[in-house]
Amino acid sequence: MPNVSALPDPHVCEQARMSRDPRFDGLFFTAVTSTGIYCRPVCPAPAPKPRNVTYYPSAAAAEAAGFRPCLRCRPELSPADGTWRRGDEVVARALKLIDQGMLADQPLAALAERVHIGERQLRRLFVERLGAPPIGVHGTRRLLFAKQLLTETALPITEVALAAGFGSLRRFNTSFREAYAMAPRDLRKRTVVADGDALTLRLHYRPPYDFAAMLDFLRGRALPGVEVADAGSYTRVFGPAEAPGWLRVSAWPGPATGNERGHALKLELHGGQPAALLEIVNRLRRMFDLDADPHTIAAALRSDARLRPLLRKRPGLRIPSGWDGFEIAVRAVIGQQVSVAAARTVTARLAQRLGTPLPEAFAARGLLHLFPLPETLAEADLGSLGLTRARAETVRGIARALLDGRVDFRPEATLEEFVERWTALPGIGPWTAHYIALRALGHPDAFPAEDLVLQRALPGDGSRLSAKALRAHADAWRPWRGYAVIQLWRDAMVAPPAATGRARAA
């Protein structure tokens, strides 16, 4: 039996299960002892009797107890519990590494070393928080992703195995059969999959979710030729240069209800190798902040009188991250002390002149080139782009620093460690480092206190706080300061221009 402290209150679980409340999707799972099946709280099947129900904090915990995933509500579609996948807590940092596939080819001891904790202690924390050890979480995650690919795509089973991180088809078949009491091909026979040019997947989230506001933010910063954002979708190209692909993210069609068609974005993927599929999905889940728990975040922020009405007005705002960390870092440097529009113009010029041109077929989607790599910018002549000499050198400096390992986007680094390493670079101050942490990592507590928009937006009366005063006020918002930033930025975006004035490129 898992540690109940990792679960919501049992009465809350029971209420959420009976009402099929989508706000709790992924926060716990319902296992039915009479059937041996575990479900999401939103499962449309008739509710089992309470005496036959056991609650688990994760799918891995339910599977470790011998339960199989429901074929109707499909637990693989649940958003992850953002409480344990965000921020600097040890489990959160370890989960980010697991999401990157670390345990696929390295032992648990290596994972424990990366998060600076003993192996036994790490295992204990996972069992306490998630009800299963790290290797169990890793294994369940791979199998559930494979189950989604088998159900929603026409990928050959060999490619499904590769996409889910299995080294061989035999190993995949054995693991799948042991966990789910059926062969992968038997599950594929139960589903009807459209075989088209694009691979299409559902990306579920926990409501509320303001997808329109997310697209609005991305649209104002979209780089022509690299990405396209409009009122209904986001499209971009991705590498490698020798085999580029493109993707489109839009709202999943259909009513936003608690069933499997609701509360999801639609990913259409053209190109990309099977082995890169999970990484692409993980990038998009971070970029669109799909694993956030808006109610937990709101509960922590609503005690602030300035934020309370904003949370009521826009309860579904998420942190809009970027596709690539280096791309965001370059944009952040170019955006120092200039407007969003000016930064976008200069960054687009850089991408056009130094990025890798795409095949002509991409042009129909408005995609013309890949964003340049650090190797390209490390020694590039940036003098004709409209950058100051100092800023051009900072762009080259971050490219060189990434190449030699002085800075990186390691998921196990704490916010403090990340900021410390980045601000050690010439031309990178706290604003830039926190902005990169917010938009490259999606860090929920990143807080660029030097941002002029924030300094004016918090008072809301035309006055301006100092960075020190703003930081002191925001201390009560931890560990969700990043969400307060997005609320205040959004409020400033829709406020009259005179209320905000000229500000940095947030």
Please report where in the chains the tokens 């915990």 appear, as a residue.
61
Single-letter code of the amino acid located at 432: T
Q: Is residue 42 a contact partner of residue 70, using CB atoms and an 8 Å limit? A: no
* Distance (Å, whole) CA 265 – CA 203: 5
For the record, the structure tokens of 57 come out as 């904090």
The reply to whether 39 belongs to the active site is yes
Q: Please give the span between the terminal C-alpha atoms of the chain, in angstroms, as a whole number.
A: 46
DSSP per-residue string spanning 12-58: HHHHHHHHT-GGGBTTBEEEETTTTEEE-TT--SPPPPGGGEEEESS
What amino acid is encoded at 196 in this protein?
G
Identified catalytic residue from 293, 324, 451, 491: 451
The Cα 463–Cα 471 span in angstroms is: 16
Side chain identity, residue 197: D
* Separation between Cα atoms, residue 486 and residue 60, nearest integer Å: 32
Q: Are 274 and 150 in contact (CB under 8 A)?
A: no
Alpha helices (runs of H) in 323-451, residue ranges in sequence order: 325-334, 340-354, 374-377, 389-404, 415-423, 430-440
Q: What is the rounded CA–CA span in Å between residue 58 and residue 79?
A: 11
Options 13, 25, 39, 73, the catalytic residue: 39
Q: Is 451 a catalytic residue?
A: yes
Q: Which amino acid is at 164?
A: A
C-alpha–C-alpha distance, residues 26 and 20, integer Å: 12
Residues involved in catalysis: 39, 451
